[in-house]
Amino acid sequence: QSSGINAEYGAGSKHTVSPTIPILPGPGSVVQSINPVPVNGRHEYRCNGHEENRKTMNGQPKKPTKVHFKLQPGSFRIVLCVDNAEVNSKKQQQLLQELEKNGVQHDVRKLQVGDFLWVAVDDGGRELVLDVVIERKRMDDLAQSITGGRFAEQKMRLKSSGLSRKIYLVETKASYLSLPEQSLRQAIINTQVIDGFTIKRTQDIKESAAYLTMLTRYLTEEYRGQELSGIEDPECTTSTLLLTFSSFSEHSVKNRVFSLREVWLKQLARIPKISQDKAEAIVKVYPTFHHMKTAIERLPVKDTIVSDIKFGAANRKIGIAASRAVAGLFSTSSLR
């Protein structure tokens, strides 16, 4: 399902936009929900969050999520946040000029993940992060991030951000590419089909600013009349149960101390033939390296260790080829 809105890019603009804006979760995304629980008053909720995080390692439901404050309908405004790394060059200053021309309320600040996101902010300065995040890439930037190894890491951090609507904004105009254009197109397709991101292509900064303007207007209407609740657990966010900006930043900081599960997930995702979705499915079955090693040692045919594990929205099996890659790394003989 997609949500749509018709808009112009700005006053007097001749540009038109598609009546459909696909910004809802893409393929592979899990619809999130919360269930109220009658414990400790009305401001706690049972966290259902992302499917793979709905239970702890011992199978018990996660503890209730505390709501720290609420923003009542009509008490807040929607502000576009722009990462300060996006406006350092003279050319990138054009982005801010276009946003100002289009009347978009925006704020330049340090974003720990993503290049653009939106916050609901009230008159007291309390901020909640809406569940939409955008990573912007020119085609030449995309090529450099792939060859430099940052592409997969950035996607993993975006998927762990607690924001469900993830958009890759790709500016296609580029004078020089360090990779074949077909390779870049395939990377973009994989990001949509395998990773579940929405892909939006624009020609240049001006068109990107127009898209941001359109989304800002759309989100302003979407959240008009909504009551928003502020939480600190990124595994429990929904469209109206939102992270505070401070907790979002703390969770997303690149050099923070990672949990055992996060480190194990990162390690698995670096194995050839193991995508992020496959790694997440494996972690649900084998929460730690110890669980994996113990299971492999007990299997008569070690190559099948993860072959039957299902992953993604299509619920497909990981398969023997990827399973063999995992077994080759974690079997006893390879660890001696």
Which of 8, 51, 83, 100 is catalytic? The answer is 83
| Contact (Cβ atoms closer than 8 angstroms) between residue 253 and residue 247 | no
The C-alpha atoms of residue 202 and residue 326 are separated, in whole angstroms, by 38
| Contact (Cβ atoms closer than 8 angstroms) between residue 232 and residue 243 | yes
Instruction: Determine which helix (DSSP H) or strand (DSSP E) holds 219, and give its type and residue range.
Output: helix 205-222
| Catalytic residue status for 86 | yes
| Catalytic residue status for 115 | yes
Return the beta strands (E) in 17-95 as ranges.
20-21, 34-36, 44-47, 65-66, 69-71, 76-83
The C-alpha atoms of residue 235 and residue 190 are separated, in whole angstroms, by 24
Cβ burial 104-130 (10 Å sphere, 16+ → b, else e) = bebeeeebbbbbbbbbbbeeeebbbbb
Which of 8, 51, 52, 86 is catalytic? The answer is 86
| Contact (Cβ atoms closer than 8 angstroms) between residue 139 and residue 158 | no
Residue found by looking up tokens 């193991």 in the block: 274
The C-alpha atoms of residue 130 and residue 120 are separated, in whole angstroms, by 7
| Catalytic residue status for 83 | yes
Which of 98, 115, 195, 280 is catalytic? The answer is 115
Which active-site residues does the annotation give?
83, 86, 115
